[in-house]
Structure 1
Amino acid sequence: MIELKAGAARLGLIPELGGAVAFWKSGKVCVFDAVSDPNLLAQKGHRVAAYPLVPFSNRVADGQFRFDGAEYRMKPNFGGEPHVIHGNGWEHPWELELLSDDSATLQLEWHPPYDRPMDEWPFAYRAQVRFDLREESLAVGMVIENIDQRPQPVGLGFHPYFPRRSGVKLGFSADTVWTNDERHLPALRVPATGEWSFERMRAVEGEAIDNCYAGWDGAAFLRWPEDGLALTVSASPAFRHLVLFTPREKDFIAVEPVSNMNDALNHAGVTDRGMTILAPAERLEGHIHFALTAC
């Protein structure tokens, strides 16, 4: 494990485990909550507090999609579902490229194997994630580069878990939200109003949500009133979707800035689905800033 330090703040990184964050602590308070999800098969039961999502976020239905006239099929990587979830970056070891007391850059270079059946992402890419820790904040910069000889569709995302304690409240603004069908795939796009709205900060202790919001304005606010702690999440324009995951009877919530809607690879007709077509040598870059304050 690599540990970054900035005053009373600590950030633990596990490059070998999909570039995952092991913890982010401010003094004795855990800002990111380490979670073990047995459905994320490649994590093999390890507890992680956050991890990068490349080269796409969330599900690809049945691991299949069509691009540029060709059909592709990937092997399911999520327990209990036939889908592929969160790309394949989290399934492979990342390399440590740069390190200082309060900063680290991790890199993954993926090349599809040509000597065995293709069951993962079929295009070559290079991804980097940079973490910059300060005593009251964390900056995460992400970039993916097409190192293949052909165009490819890509997305980016970051998956932090937050503790579901102390009457945690959440607020953010988005235009619409995708409802899900019985297979956990996007069904209908509806206005983010009424029960779907978080325009006014509200508690999420008992709610069960697992949906992708579109037209997110790039800001989200979490507050733990009993801890006297607040967190502001700010994302660059690459991230205009927000996945909210608040499973019942779990002690965490996930608030995930992402570039693409769920199953975006199979929704070419959605003009703002969030997939970026990169020509060879082109890059997609995004930045997320987490700022802690007292409340």
Structure 2
Amino acid sequence: MSPSPTGEQWELRRGGQRAVVVQLGAALRHYEVDGRPVLDGFAADSRIAGGRGQLLVPWPNRVRDGRYEFDGADLQLALTEPEKHNAIHGLLRWTPWRLLARSDDTVRLGTLLLPQPGYPFTLDVVAEYRLGPDGFEANISATNVGDTPAPYGVGQHPYVTVGTDSVDSALLTVPAQYWLPADDRGLPTGREPVDGTVYDFRTERPIGDLRLDTAFTELGRDAEGRARVRLAHPSGSRGVDVWLGDSARYVQVYTGDTLAEPDRRRRGVAVEAMSCPADAFRSGTDLTVLEPGRGHVLRWGLSPWGAA
């Protein structure tokens, strides 16, 4: 029997919850509650496509031309989105991670990001996933173990579903004051209020035929400092909240219209927690600079609700 193309598969269970995390990129492959899928994930014998469940380290989204300046040096990343001449979604998606600890409902994975062309810095990165009484939680931490400051951003790319054949009828809520227009390369061109636009999802409404690959910011938060993006079934009887911790200052919402696999388009909604927007390595917008010995943690999670 040949191994899975995503390596080891680590299953987590708690009550009616079940999640699966894979060795390749420490990606989140599957999450269900009482047998109902919460993620539009991928099978154990499938390769990862469309970024499903992947960690985006040390930058989320895109870097224009893969080129940026940091601490007086001109740096060039590999163009991993060659058709748009961008570097996309970081350097750890296709790296096998090592198991650090595991219990029935928790797994900790780690990897060392070593200096390489375009990113001459060293980061110790740990992903901890756990199932709790309120759902799934991810904690993604990075520590600069090198001797120079390092630019840093992080995100994760799950696709959520409420069981509809298409996302058109699903009800979306995004508690954001601003959206980021983007050019045809997926790079931001500014920041605009959502008021009076099709991107105003502060009040729940169906997605309809709107094509989203859109970043939002200035997120409304609850007393715990969490922003909650909600996808609900058209009946309103059930859904899932994607909560974002305070270091997730942006969220990208993607309806999958450009996925390479036509049968996967508009089947789930990617709700991507991000610490910074696209092209932050060039613009510096909300870019984290990790001094030697300093760390950063991104927290986000999934809270399903309603009847099965």
TM interval, short-chain normalised = 0.7 to 0.9
**8 Å contact from structure 1 (residues 32, 49) kept in 2:** no
- Matched AA of 1:257: A
Question: What CA distance in whole angstroms lies between the structure 2 residues aligned with 1:164 and 1:181?
Answer: 30
Post-superposition Cα deviations, 1:162-211, rounded to whole Å, max 9, x if no partner, equal 13743321102212111111222111211122211111112224221112
Matches within 5 A, 1:253-272: 253-268=269-284
Relative distance call for 1:163 and 1:78 in structure 2 (3 A) is farther
CA offsets 1:23-64 (integer angstroms, 9 cap, x no match): 00112211011159xxxxxx9556874122111110001111
The one-letter code sitting in structure 1 at the alignment partner of 2:16 is A
Q: Distance in 2 between matches of 1:242 and 1:46?
A: 20
Contact 1:26–1:135 (CA<8 Å) still a contact in 2? no
Which residue of the partner structure matches residue 19 of structure 2? 11
Aligned CA distance change for structure 1 residues 7 and 172 (closer, same or farther; 3 Å): same
Match status 1:172 vs 2:184 = no
How far the C-alpha of 1:87 sits from its partner, in A, is 0.8
1:280 pairs with 2:292: yes
Say yes or no: does 1:240 pair with 2:249. yes
Cα distance per residue 1:101-145 (max 9 Å; x no partner)? 0000111111124xxxx2x53311111111111365001111111
Q: Matched residues in 2 for 1:9 and 1:140: separation?
A: 15
| More displaced 10-residue stretch of structure 1: 70-79 or 54-63 | 70-79
The aligned runs of 1:94-133 (5 Å cut-off) are 94-113=97-116, 118=117, 121-133=119-131
| Larger fraction in strand | 1
Structure 1: how far apart are the matches of 2:129 and 2:76?
A: 33
Looking at structure 2, the residues matched to 48 and 189 of structure 1 have their Cα atoms a distance apart, in angstroms, of 25
Q: Distance in 2 between matches of 1:65 and 1:47?
A: 25
Q: Which residue of 2 aligns with 1:55?
A: 58
Give the % identical residues: 24
Structure 1 unaligned residues grouped into runs of 5+: 37-42
Q: 5 Å matches for 1:1-295?
A: 1-15=9-23, 17-34=24-41, 45=48, 49-78=52-81, 80-113=83-116, 118=117, 121-134=119-132, 136-163=134-161, 165-166=163-164, 167-193=169-195, 194-217=197-220, 218-226=227-235, 228-248=237-257, 249-268=265-284, 273-294=285-306
Answer whether contact 1:23 1:49 (CA < 8 A) is retained: no
* Contact 1:159/1:257 (<8 A) preserved: yes
Runs of 4+ in structure 1 off by over 6 angstroms are none
Pair 190,231 (structure 1): closer, same or farther in 2 beyond 3 Å: same
Amino acid at match of 1:161: Y
Q: TM-score, normalised by structure 1?
A: 0.88
Whether contact under 8 Å (1:151, 1:280) holds in the other structure is yes
Stretch of structure 1 that moved more, 220-229 or 55-64: 220-229
Equivalent pairs counted in the alignment come to 279
CA–CA separation in structure 2 for the residues paired with 1:11 and 1:47? 19
Which deviates further from its counterpart, 201-210 or 98-107? 201-210
Are 1:136 and 1:293, in contact at CA under 8 Å, matched by a contact in 2?
A: no
Q: CA deviation at 1:281?
A: 0.7
Q: Name which of structure 1's ranges 210-219 and 1-10 shifts more when overlaid on structure 2.
A: 210-219
Cα 1:232–1:250 shift into 2, 3 Å: closer
Runs of at least 5 residues in structure 2 that lack an aligned partner in the other structure? 1-8, 221-226, 258-264
Amino acid at match of 2:217: A
1: CA distance, partners of 2:239 / 2:161: 12
